[in-house]
Homo-oligomer: A and B are copies of this chain.
Amino acid sequence: MIQARISHSLRTGASMAELSEKARSKLNSLNEALESGAMARVRRIINSGLAPVDVAHLIESSPPKARKVIWELVDKGIEGEVLQYLSIDIQSQFLSDMSAEQVVDATADLDSDDIADMLQQLPEQVTQEILSSMDHQDRARVEAILGYPEDSAGGLMNTDTITIRPDITLDVVLRYLRRHQSLPDMTDNLLVVNRQNEFIGALPIRKLLVSDPQQTVREVMSTGRIMVIQATQHETEVAKLFERHDLVSAPVVDANGMLLGRITIDDVVDVIRETADHSLMSMAGLDDDEDTFAPVLKTARRRAVWLGINLITAFIASAVIGLFDKAIEAVVALAVLMPIVASMGGIAGSQVLTLVIRGQALGHLSGANFRWLFHRELLVAALNGGLWAIIIAIMAWVWFNDIKLSLIMSAAIIINLMAAAVVGAALPQILKARGIDPALAGGVILTTVTDVVGFMSFLGLATLIYI
């Protein structure tokens, strides 16, 4: 019977590709139902067996007003799970409308790390209220996590570990496991601790299943390079470990080696995604957890800051042009051609900048190999500077039939491409060493330099020659 059902669903092709296609069409019909105010239809769509993660996705994909409507129609039974999948902005917005009891009820079935993440969005007083409504064990677990920064291994860990002692036999372990209703998600290792709860090793389930049941845990457990994570390690460091060593879960210990909990790959995947998104979003002056459907005023305010910063750099560039107004008055073609010099520098520089920022994120750059990279970039700039200087000189000559202008343009292009290489390569390293995010500040500083150097070299040379 069961077999028949699954085979049927396979044969009718209800694969996940199509399920996700269905989710997309659901998103469409939901938005239409919301726009036309057909609330009964909205409720039907939401409660038609959508998984909590899909409901969360629908909420994230909806404009602010629709979000509230959907949230109120969500079945109470899955509220907590839906909350857990929402981005921080939306999560804290919904949480702030709930009473302490409502939050405790909604989050009762969640992992302790997810509850801790949510509590971190709330005011201290509300957090305390919620913690005191929890039962003793849950409270202790959540408080253990709240004791660590959100972006540390301690803030990322779960406390739902299954621990065993080293001196029992595997047979006893198997019987012990059978006393559980179910094992925690992503349990690939049982963690071995001594009487003091000190972590001493891991028993992979894979080994437990193929080993002689009469052996003891101590005889079978992994002892080689065990990936033990300190609770204070930064989450990006944890992500690198998981990525490089293909981990599913890893134990977390405190400074004394006491087992605190474990980190699982599903939470690490979120860190990897956020870290990778961070550079992209920062380079445009956006937050990495920027809400795609944030309301107008919030969006306008955040964007205004970035525009203001860039306006300053634009005025600096203009001030440089202003220094050479005599040259422009004499030869108006200078005004026509000057943006080309600035823009080529900006493009070349941002390529180097992006490459170095990604190299930093991947941990590729050290002192010694950076010197090589820096030299390569200078050579590349010289080669491309030479190539494009010739092409641009010819184009300028065809256009304005002025050989002096062509030569000035060539020289300025080469100078600006070299400057772009130096700044694009060195700037991220300098910023990083000073604790400034290169993805956020790098682009602004780079274009300021390439604009200033571009206008200065082009108009400066022109002033020397024409005036």
A299-B380, A321-B336, A332-B328 are contacts. A31–B351 as well, Cβ < 8 Å? no
- Nearest CB to that of A194 among chain B residues? B3
- Nearest CB to that of A313 among chain B residues? B343
Residues of B within 8 A of A45 (CB): none
Q: Cβ of B28 and Cβ of A367 under 8 Å apart?
A: yes
Interface string of A327-353 (1 = CB under 8 A from B): 011001111111110111001101101
Interface string of A202-230 (1 = CB under 8 A from B): 00011101111000001001010111111
Q: How far is the CB of A245 from chain B (nearest CB, A)?
A: 7
A307-B388, A329-B332, A368-B32 are contacts. A277–B380 as well, Cβ < 8 Å? no
Of B186, B198, B209, B364, the residue contacting A177 (CB under 8 A) is B209
Interface residue tally for chain A (C-beta within 8 Å): 153
- Nearest CB to that of A210 among chain B residues? B180
How far apart are the CA atoms of A329 and B330 in the complex, in Å?
8
Q: Which of A336-381 contact B (CB under 8 A)?
A: 336-340, 342-344, 347-348, 350-351, 353-355, 358-359, 362-369, 372-373, 376, 379-380
A51-B225, A177-B209, A292-B355 are contacts. A186–B248 as well, Cβ < 8 Å? yes
- Nearest CB to that of A349 among chain B residues? B284
Q: Cβ of A336 and Cβ of B344 under 8 Å apart?
A: no
Q: Cβ of A342 and Cβ of B339 under 8 Å apart?
A: yes
Q: Cβ of B174 and Cβ of A209 under 8 Å apart?
A: yes
Q: Cβ of B368 and Cβ of A296 under 8 Å apart?
A: no
Q: Cβ of A311 and Cβ of B388 under 8 Å apart?
A: yes
- Nearest CB to that of A30 among chain B residues? B368
Residues of B within 8 A of A308 (CB): 388
How far apart are the CA atoms of A372 and B376 in the complex, in Å?
47
Residues of B within 8 A of A166 (CB): 3
A286 contacts the other chain (CB 8 A): yes
Of B181, B206, B284, B366, the residue contacting A182 (CB under 8 A) is B206
Residues of B within 8 A of A2 (CB): 200-201, 218, 221, 223
A92 contacts the other chain (CB 8 A): no
Q: How far is the CB of A169 from chain B (nearest CB, A)?
A: 14
A16 contacts the other chain (CB 8 A): yes
How far apart are the CA atoms of A91 and B273 in the complex, in Å?
25
A150 contacts the other chain (CB 8 A): no
Q: Which of A53-61, A69-77, A100-108, A136-144 makes up part of the contact surface?
A: A53-61
Of B186, B200, B242, B286, the residue contacting A6 (CB under 8 A) is B200
A27 contacts the other chain (CB 8 A): yes
A160 contacts the other chain (CB 8 A): no
How far apart are the CA atoms of A304 and B122 in the complex, in Å?
51
How far apart are the CA atoms of A306 and B272 in the complex, in Å?
29
- Nearest CB to that of A15 among chain B residues? B230
Q: How far is the CB of A8 from chain B (nearest CB, A)?
A: 10
Q: Cβ of B358 and Cβ of A228 under 8 Å apart?
A: no
- Nearest CB to that of A209 among chain B residues? B177
Q: How far is the CB of A57 from chain B (nearest CB, A)?
A: 7
Q: Which of A126-134, A233-241, A430-438 makes up part of the contact surface?
A: A233-241
Interface string of A49-90 (1 = CB under 8 A from B): 001011001001111000000000000000000000000000
A161 contacts the other chain (CB 8 A): no
How far apart are the CA atoms of A372 and B299 in the complex, in Å?
13
How far apart are the CA atoms of A266 and B268 in the complex, in Å?
11
How far apart are the CA atoms of A257 and B373 in the complex, in Å?
50
What are 9 of the A-B contact pairs (CB < 8 Å)? Answer: A2-B200, A53-B244, A183-B210, A272-B272, A276-B276, A308-B388, A311-B344, A321-B335, A328-B328
